[in-house]
Amino acid sequence: MTNSDVTALDDPVGQSLRGHHAHLAQRLGRVATYVPGVATFSAVPVDAEAADWADLAQLLGGGQFADLFSSTATPPSDWEPVFVLEGRQMIGPADGPVEPTDVVELGTADVPEMLDLVTRTEPGPFWPRARELGTYLGIRDGGRLVAMAGERLRPPGWTEISAVCTAPEARGRGHARRLIGALSALITARGERPFLHVAEGNKGALALYERLGFESRKPVTFRGFRTP
C-alpha cells in the first residue's frame, strides 16, 4: 500500500523543501532553496511577484544560478536565462520485481568517485553534498565505482530517483536496472512510490525507464537562470 497523491508532484521542489528536506532548506517569505552544495533547485509560488523574486535573489546572492523547473512562474527580465531543456516526469510502479543484487550504499568517502562518474556520464545535475538528500547506491567492479543511482527530491508520498549512471565500459549489464530496482524496493518499503525526471532527448534513459515500468505523467521544462 502506498499513500502517494500525484498532486505532490506538481511542485516537487517546494514540497521537498517544506517537508522531508526542511533541514536542508534556506527560506525567506514565500520562496525557498537548498543550502549550497546540496542542490541548486529553488521553489517559488506559481503567482510569484516582484517581492518573491527579490527574496530569492537575496537568498541566492548576486550572479548565482537558480534551477527553476518545479514552478511555471517567470522571473523578471534581469534574471539571465542560462538554459532551457524539455523533459518529462515519470512515475514508477508501486511494486517492482526485486532481483538479487550486488549494490552497496555510498557514503561520504565515496563522493570523489561519485563526482568522477558523473563527470564521465553526465546524468544531469549533481552536487558534492547531493547524497545528503537520500540514499545513494552504487555497483563496484574490481573495486572501481562503475554505476550509481540515488534518491533526490522527496515530496510527500514520493521519492525521486536521480543520478542514474553507468560508466560507458560497464553498460548493458543490467547495472542501472538493479540499482533502480534496489532503490524502488527501499522507497516502496516505506509506503512511497518512485518518480523521476528525464530529458526528452535522452532516448537511452527513456527506453530504460519504460522497460522498468515507469509511465510518463507530464512534460517538464528544465530551466536555469542567473540572479541579477
Ligand X SMILES: CC(C)(COP(=O)(O)OP(=O)(O)OC[C@H]1O[C@@H](n2cnc3c(N)ncnc32)[C@H](O)[C@@H]1OP(=O)(O)O)[C@@H](O)C(=O)NCCC(=O)NCCS
List contacts with ligand X (CB under 6 A). 121-124, 147, 164-166, 171-177, 198, 202, 204-205, 207-208, 211
User: Which strand ranges, in their side-by-side order, compose the sheet holding 42-43?
Assistant: 25-28, 31-34, 42-43
User: Which strand ranges, in their side-by-side order, compose the sheet holding 65-67?
Assistant: 65-67, 215-226, 80-91, 193-199, 158-166, 144-151, 136-141, 104-105
Given the complex with ligand X, which of 147 and 183 has the nearer CB atom? 147
Given the complex with ligand X, which of 124 and 157 has the nearer CB atom? 124
CB of 30 to ligand X, least distance (A): 30
Given the complex with ligand X, which of 82 and 120 has the nearer CB atom? 120
CB of 88 to ligand X, least distance (A): 10
CB of 214 to ligand X, least distance (A): 11
CB of 138 to ligand X, least distance (A): 12
CB of 65 to ligand X, least distance (A): 20
Given the complex with ligand X, which of 75 and 123 has the nearer CB atom? 123
Given the complex with ligand X, which of 40 and 202 has the nearer CB atom? 202
Tell me phi and psi for residue 11, to 5 degrees: -140, 70
Cβ atoms of residues 54 and 184 within 8 Å: no
